[in-house]
Chains A and B, each alone.
Chain A
Amino acid sequence: MNLNGATDQDQVERILQGETKAFSALIGNTKGLVSQIVHRMIGNVEDRKDIAQEIYIKVFHNLSSFRFHSKLSTWIGQIAYRTCLNYLEKKKLVLYSMDRPEDSEELITGKAIALSVDNLEEWLQKKQLSQILDLAVEKLPPLYRTIIILFHQEELTYNEIQEITDLPSGTLKNYLYRARKKLKADLLAQYKKEDL
């Protein structure tokens, strides 16, 4: 059931019968998820517009092949993710690479900085946490950025993210683990910088 109370099947049937309003409604219901994926994966503001348009045109042309094995929104998310992935591959942009995980490990385990956990919490409470995190998330590579947002902000399940990204379960959990660890390390580094 979507936001307008129509099931995915009803909505697809209406669109296939040529109801423009039904397709507009579908865009309205899913543009939040698509916008998240496009913004997290595509850095270039100019290209986002073309990519968003391309995504929904692909959705329209492939709607008759949708078999209802997943939620319609997840299927659209998958198209959005693949379209962005193709863009990144064409532009030869880095998708995964991050500082060596050992660097984050060093920060977190306290070899690089001696920081008590109490201090971090106190410091974060004083700061605008979401603002600091926004910057830290932006520093992550596109794939890590996307999955961390899909999991923590869009609150999608592992299965839904797997369907969208086509990543095996273990790999997805591993990426999420590394992304969170990197975020924590970045927060600690930021704290250290301000503390000096």
Chain B
Amino acid sequence: MKLTHLNESEIQQYSFDMMDCDQYVIEHMNTCDYCKKKAADYLMISKGIKEMPEPTFDFDIEELVLEGLHTSSRSKERNYLPYSLIALGIGIATASLYFFIDNLAALFIFDNPFMVFLIVGIAIFISIPIGLDMVISFNKKLKIMDYL
């Protein structure tokens, strides 16, 4: 049995996850009034939260949603733009293949130093913003983790 008082984490675990509690926590709780009181505080907080008034929407959500669905389905019917753009893209790609199929193989022969420079240069140019973005988002996540 633990002879010193339990920490906050153990007390919370006893209060809300007794099934996962270590035996020493339960044994300590059975004999320590101080820790029992601290657990009672947490249970009281839990009870208080349960009794808090529950928020409700101050508008008729059913009516609002059905109205929104009606509008969204109408606007959906009319929105052909994404499909037109996809069809246009496929059309241009097919036409390019048809007209330039003979030149396609030449694209992958790197006997020209200028072509190598161009391809490597473009690759580096694209990698820089992607790399920067990764570093920024990594730092952001680390900052969040700092609060965990």
Contacts and interface: CB of A to CB of B under 8 A. Distances in A.
Interface stretch (A4-12, A30-38, A64-72): A30-38
A49 B59 CA distance: 8
A166 to B, nearest CB: 15
Contact of B62 (A24, A40, A97, A121): A24
Nearest to A97: B147
Interface stretch (B48-56, B87-95, B111-119, B129-137): B48-56
Contact of A177 (B9, B47, B55): B9
Interface string A146-185: 0011001101000000000000000101101100110110
Give the interface residue-count category, chain A.
35 or more
Nearest to B145: A96
Given A39-B55, A53-B68, A96-B144, A152 B62 contact: no
A96 B72 contact: no
B83 interface: no
The 6 nearest A-B residue pairs measured at CB? A39-B55, A129-B48, A152-B49, A56-B65, A117-B37, A133-B48
Interface of A: 20, 23-24, 27-28, 31-32, 34-36, 38-40, 48-49, 52-53, 56-57, 60-61, 96-98, 101, 105, 108, 117-118, 120-121, 124, 129-130, 132-134, 137, 148-149, 152-153, 155, 171, 173-174, 176-177, 180-181, 183-184, 187
